[in-house]
Structure 1
């Protein structure tokens, strides 16, 4: 009775399998299948972990070596990335302050009247400044300073290389004097000053040139370099030495003896009058 009860209890817990005449072969086959499943499972987990680690490392490396600007550009569109950020250089002219009651409008008519300086090798910056001064002085409103009147339209009188020079200027101009001096230093080189000084010192009257034409040529040459640093006495002397012997004798006779006995101002006045007479009545 006790044995039957124990057998009945075990049967209710463990299921009964069909009889297998090759139980050992079946057992080896089941073990081999189980081992393959375990190996494949481990390999799969290893691949997943390695991929996850590679992804994390790639992200970390890209974050380390990425420039700050590149990280910020991640949210920008291709069109926005293709558009360059332009940083403009500050304007080099600081205009004088006007009084509260003062106003000044740069008229288009004034701009059209302005001379143009291109910054070419043969350009005359002194002549340009003179012509620029004439235009500005004719349209100067009452009460407006000269600095403001000239600094405001001056950029419109430049073109080509001269305009590039102004727009790329690193200095800050506060006065018209500073701007004019820097302009002349740029476009009227020291070598040109030396060349003009040499030409003034060695000037000669041409064979078929009248006294008036010679006097005009001499004055124009001096005007091309206002800071030639040759005093008035030497200027008259260089002009006189460039005359022929006959012309010198005529001028000496007109001066009442010798031109060199007169003051520079008186000598200049005499030569100017004689040149005007030559223009009016000929030699």
Structure 2
């Protein structure tokens, strides 16, 4: 029997020092060497995952920020996968940490997983139905409708 004196809660807790992330970063070329600058990370758009937050807009703003900043010798996948976790806050960052190890290998896979979680098809279909089939509420006059 082991002399481990940790509690069950401590044993069950994830160790983020040794826990690999869900992102399997593409290998860098020999001449690709870049550092994420603090001012760039600070200026990235932030996504909290609140009810009114638009994940499509977040991805568009993130793309605009990154587009002109990709260093020579670094691919879009490498750069955006390195930066994207810094644009997530609160529950969205928790979501990223709890994805299975190595599930994200490309920027396209990251976008798909992000939109699947924060803008599922059901939300899209509901919005589409609301636009194409408006309904008058019982308390609404015809003029208000």
- The answer to whether the superposition gives a TM-score over 0.5 is yes
Q: Equivalent residue for 1:145?
A: 75
The 5-angstrom pairing of residues 75-224 of structure 1 reads 81-82=5-6, 84=10, 88=15, 89-170=19-100, 172-202=103-133
Q: Distance in 2 between matches of 1:163 and 1:140?
A: 23
State how far apart, in whole Å, the 2-side matches of 1:159 and 1:151 are. Answer: 16
The answer to which structure has the higher helix fraction is 1
Rg comparison, structure with higher value: 1
Counterpart-to-counterpart distance in 1, 2:64 and 2:33:
22
Secondary structure of 1:153's counterpart equals helix
Q: How is 1:44-55 mapped onto 2 (pairs within 5 angstroms)? A: none
User: Which segment is superposed worse, 82-91 or 109-118?
Assistant: 82-91
Q: Which ranges in structure 2 are unaligned for 5 or more consecutive residues?
A: 135-145
Structure 1 partner of 2:141: none
Contact 2:22 2:97 in 1 (8 A): yes
Q: 1:101 Cα shift?
A: 1.5
SS at 1:152 equivalent: helix
Alignment of 1:218-233 (within 5 A): none
Structure scoring higher RCO (CA < 8 A, sep ≥ 6) equals 2
Under a length normalisation based on structure 1, what TM-score does the superposition of the two structures give? Answer: 0.42
Report Cα offsets for 1:129-182 as digits up to 9, x if no partner.
000001111211122111011100100100011011001111521101011101
Structure 2 CA distance, aligned partners of 1:122 and 1:162? 14
Whole-Å separation in 2 of the counterparts to 1:105 and 1:157: 16
Structure 1 position 87, deviation (Å) = 5.1
Q: CA contact under 8 A between 2:31 and 2:73: conserved in structure 1?
A: no
> What SS does structure 1 have at the residue aligned with 2:93?
helix
**TM-score w.r.t. length of structure 2:** 0.79
Which region of structure 1 is more displaced relative to structure 2, 129-138 or 163-172?
163-172
Cα distance in 2 for partners of 1:145, 1:173 equals 16
User: 2: CA distance between counterparts of 1:145 and 1:198?
Assistant: 39
Shift in Å, 1:197: 1.2
Aligned residue for 1:98, secondary structure, equals coil
Structure 2 Cα separation of the partners of residues 143 and 82 of structure 1: 46
